[in-house]
Structure 1
């Protein structure tokens, strides 16, 4: 069967077949003509359906009169653009662990695994390959720093859920910048084994940050950095913006990205950095429109930081994409669609904030008032009773909604007010958006499979050879 050639020009003709068949072995060293990428910044809006990208841009345009950084790159024709197939080894619909592993290890693995094949063999993660080549490596995210997407670029693990172990593997492999949430995986007070992982990082020479102020005030750039700012994932951007304490404690994704770049760029051999808007995915799982769009906008601000650096630097490949779609949200037709959508301007809190702030003792009137204060919409008494009926049967099972809170019911009610509807509450098998800027972007063709990006990055940076592929 003929394989599609991922690259155009500049790469040995033989390479085309091997890139799309990662189980094969290269018969000759890989070369790339033209400028090499000294640095790579790989930005992932986790779980971003196309509708999420579209609506975030519409919200910015209607509320602030500007386009998103991502779609501005399209409008200005600054990037190479493609659709990407996101399947895993055992499903057309991937999870984040398998998706990140396809990029990180260059092979599709089964859902739930991080760079581990079904036969137990392991694929060397790409950030380890770049570390071996002398570059610095980092990950920043709005979920736990040990979560599946950052982990897929850095380590191997049979189970994505072994986040306490992943925290130790980052240290073992010397990942230079690690930032996000996940206090429970580093603090001796919360870890089940009572191991003080913060101390272990400090002893290995890391500068450790626990809040936004300490991170922003640190002027040094010659030490590796660990920033863990919250237990579990970081708060949604819309909730953070409405809470003075959170504003002071939690850095934005853009701020973490800037701090990471400032540190990593000191390496004369270059750096690689993954930036994840992880809670876009969580908001999609919850059909939580304000959480979704404002976290997508926060991710887009990080895109702006990366692009500003890359345009000035001239030696940086920027990759902007998502690992998979989620829930397929969209703005739907109706005479009041524009007016309804504009209501999201005034949302001050997420559905997550609302639903976690009530219990079975909450009265319908109290819930009505809470939602109107938080989001400016007035639900009916029957709506409130329907939501509250779920609080008699909560449990603690599940990954993204362990208490079985009535996110779906609230989203259906909100659709009357926002005209935003949802296709489901889970990942989709859609092909997704992929954009590239800088040296190496010329290698991109209009349709790719997720695992092909692994070799593309290695070749773009000129570090691919028989030993690393």
Structure 2
């Protein structure tokens, strides 16, 4: 791959930069204007709904249409023919089913790497991450996410690491890289009283001139003359529906759209432009948990961030916006049946995620108490037999049998989602990633050059 074209003259060569195979370009049209319609993109905003199966995009749009009469921003871009659209092959170097670190590295380093690694090949080869390259070229760069800022997807744009799990080390690498905006969760990787080595990375960032924000108010109060580190949760941020139904969380934790807007405002006036990644990381976590309220509402939160990006790009006229996902997960969808409409609409009455609901149940609770908690959270309840099954997970019988990624407390996510399916008509094929070809959309200078099918390494010529 000829990766130098992307940084020719320190500018973004637009979407041909972003979405065309360099071999096709150079072999077939050696004099092609990579900028598309004679214009180069000064800025790139790369939006990732992590773990978004097509059914997730579909259900969020259905939910919004049926509740509010207006669908999602992403689907409206399709309906209005305002974006170029493609399917993307998401495989990693080690599997047709990628994980998030390899998925992000395919974009961030331009090369497929084994699952579990960040821009490091099977034999230890290191590929310089794209935000480091942009930073060196003089642009401002940043990442915002709803999971730890040290997590796999933002890290894939930023660092080299043999293991995605080395999050304390990744946090320390960020200090040396001095990126302009880094916001998400992950306090336990920065705070002295939580890190294994007891280093106070917050103090280190402040000593290097960073503004450190740990609440929504502190984030909004930051100014544009110093870089920003924002950390708003011990691990990930709360799910969007749980945040929005808790006054304290809503006032203290910024939404993804608010973080995205702050990051854009911080970098938009830089003479050489900016490049940033915006990730809705907990769409993936909700899919792993088969948690329909978490899934739909975090996809809606992502959709609000799309609006922030598109609104800016429309006004700016020099910004390429890429909207995609790194892989599918759990392949959820609305299942056929005579009550499918009514059942799916029942999700409008959900006020909390299954994570919050199931964490509210304790050993010794009665069947009546379990049914009451579920009725409060879902607007409908389950049978006595199902309530007894749920309780069995808390009383030693089955609690060891259900694991799953991000299910540290062995909560009965799968069993409960099967119970919910009876009244919401949403089915899931698994609790893990899938090898689906995924959606990719592009808006802005050069987006017309997008081909209908790309690999996850074709998006960039560097």
What TM-score does the superposition give when structure 2 sets the normalisation length?
Answer: 0.92
Q: Distance in 1 between matches of 2:413 and 2:399?
A: 13
> Unpaired runs of 5+ in structure 2?
1-12
The counterpart of 2:186, out of the listed 182, 185, 192, is 182
Aligned position for 1:321: 324
**Structure 2 residue 122 is matched with structure 1 residue 118:** yes
The counterpart of 1:434, out of the listed 435, 440, 445, is 440
Question: Structure 1 residues 361, 9: CA separation in 2 closer, same or farther (over 3 Å shift)?
Answer: closer
The counterpart of 1:100, out of the listed 97, 104, 123, is 104
Q: Distance in 1 between matches of 2:454 and 2:165?
A: 29
Question: Structure 1 residues 402, 251: CA separation in 2 closer, same or farther (over 3 Å shift)?
Answer: same
Q: Secondary structure at the match of 1:55?
A: helix
Shift of 1:204: 1.0
Aligned length: 441
Aligned position for 1:42: 46
Q: Distance in 1 between matches of 2:170 and 2:21?
A: 33
Contact 1:8 1:443 in 2 (8 A): no
**Structure 2 residue 34 is matched with structure 1 residue 32:** yes
The counterpart of 1:250, out of the listed 227, 230, 253, is 253
Q: Distance in 1 between matches of 2:198 and 2:371?
A: 43
Contact 1:98 1:115 in 2 (8 A): yes
Aligned position for 1:308: 311
Q: Distance in 1 between matches of 2:185 and 2:33?
A: 39
Shift of 1:32: 2.6
The counterpart of 1:202, out of the listed 199, 206, 210, is 206
Shift of 1:398: 6.0
**Structure 2 residue 86 is matched with structure 1 residue 76:** no
CA offsets 1:222-270 (integer angstroms, 9 cap, x no match): 2110100011100101111111111111100000000000001131100
Aligned position for 1:416: 422
Contact 1:89 1:109 in 2 (8 A): yes
Shift of 1:168: 1.1
Q: Distance in 1 between matches of 2:102 and 2:163?
A: 11
Q: Distance in 2 between matches of 1:77 and 1:374?
A: 38
Q: Distance in 2 between matches of 1:239 and 1:10?
A: 40
Aligned position for 2:7: none
Contact 1:15 1:30 in 2 (8 A): no
Question: Structure 1 residues 399, 414: CA separation in 2 closer, same or farther (over 3 Å shift)?
Answer: closer
Q: Secondary structure at the match of 2:393?
A: helix
The counterpart of 1:333, out of the listed 332, 336, 345, is 336
Q: Secondary structure at the match of 1:246?
A: helix
Q: Secondary structure at the match of 2:162?
A: coil
Deviates further, 384-393 or 292-301 = 384-393
Question: Structure 1 residues 398, 408: CA separation in 2 closer, same or farther (over 3 Å shift)?
Answer: closer
Shift of 1:216: 1.7
Shift of 1:386: 0.7
Question: Structure 1 residues 20, 375: CA separation in 2 closer, same or farther (over 3 Å shift)?
Answer: farther
Q: Distance in 2 between matches of 1:311 and 1:17?
A: 31
**Structure 2 residue 222 is matched with structure 1 residue 222:** no
Q: Distance in 1 between matches of 2:218 and 2:241?
A: 23
Aligned position for 2:244: 241
Shift of 1:381: 1.0
Contact 2:49 2:283 in 1 (8 A): yes
Q: Distance in 2 between matches of 1:355 and 1:253?
A: 25
Aligned position for 2:57: 53
Shift of 1:10: 7.8
Q: Secondary structure at the match of 1:454?
A: coil
> Unpaired runs of 5+ in structure 1?
1-6, 22-27, 456-468
Q: Secondary structure at the match of 1:230?
A: coil
Q: Distance in 2 between matches of 1:88 and 1:377?
A: 42
Shift of 1:20: 11
Q: Distance in 2 between matches of 1:18 and 1:126?
A: 22
Q: Distance in 1 between matches of 2:167 and 2:380?
A: 39
Q: Distance in 1 between matches of 2:178 and 2:365?
A: 49
Shift of 1:387: 1.2
Q: Secondary structure at the match of 1:409?
A: helix
Q: Point out 4+ residue stretches in structure 1 off by more than 3 angstroms.
A: 7-11, 18-21, 28-31, 393-399
Q: Secondary structure at the match of 1:44?
A: strand
Q: Secondary structure at the match of 2:382?
A: coil
Q: Secondary structure at the match of 1:273?
A: strand
Contact 1:55 1:331 in 2 (8 A): yes
Q: Secondary structure at the match of 1:452?
A: coil
Shift of 1:426: 0.4
